[in-house]
Amino acid sequence: MAEKHNFVWQELQRHFDTDDLTNVVSSRWQFTTHLLPDLQPAIEEQLEPLSPKIQGFHQKIEFLPVKLSDLIASEEHFVVRLAPVQFQDIDIGEDQPYASRNNCFWLFNIRSMPALVILSKFLTRHGPKIQVEIAHLPDDVSHAFAKDFLRTIQDQCKRSRYYRNKVVSFESDDFSARTKQCECTTFMP
């Protein structure tokens, strides 16, 4: 029976086959949450051929994005626990809501070199955001993959297919200018 891990750092040590995760490099970008229905499929489409393993993690403070440096922490007060992958429905103005993943990471290999992508949701005073971080060993092939990966998801989000021809409101009903979950109304020509 395989050893069960409770913490993300343990799973990352196993995946990267090292006790020293400080040699792993990463790049990250942030997006607004209304792009999540385009962002998540773009991530999954690129990773699907690599047969990724997906896992969830617990986010202690929802106002801070979880970064690679948080996930590799093994000190008692800073350790991040593994958690079930959670989903949240988002109204995108279609018949069915979009089931988005909450705080998760994908483990995979780029030509036998270990890598991971982290999806972290967090709150700011200007509303919710999404951070995507790709981490890998410092080799040319992995670096090129990471650069192309981030460019591709950014391009997919620029061509957002879920919010074209729809009126999108990010304001709450009380007109307080505070943001809330995105609501869509289909625009009929």
Overall fold of domain 8-164: TBP-like (3.30.2030)
Q: Please choose, from the candidates 12, 17, 9, the residue with its C-alpha nearest in 3D space to the C-alpha of residue 78.
A: 9
Confidence (pLDDT) at 183:
53
Q: CB under 8 Å to 92, separation ≥6 — which residues?
A: 37, 98, 162, 163, 182, 184
Confidence (pLDDT) at 65:
87
Q: Where are the alpha helices (DSSP H) in the chain?
A: 8-16, 36-47, 68-71, 140-158
pLDDT in tens, 97-119: 888 888 999 999 999 999 999 99
Domain-wise residue ranges, the chain: 8-164
Give the residues of the chain that fall short of pLDDT 70: 1-3, 162-189
Residue in this structure with the two tokens 């997906």, named with its chain if needed:
54
State how far the Cα of 151 lies from the Cα of 77, in Å rounded to an integer: 35
Supply the pTM of this predicted model: 0.80
CB count within 10 Å of CB 178 equals 12
Confidence (pLDDT) at 162:
65
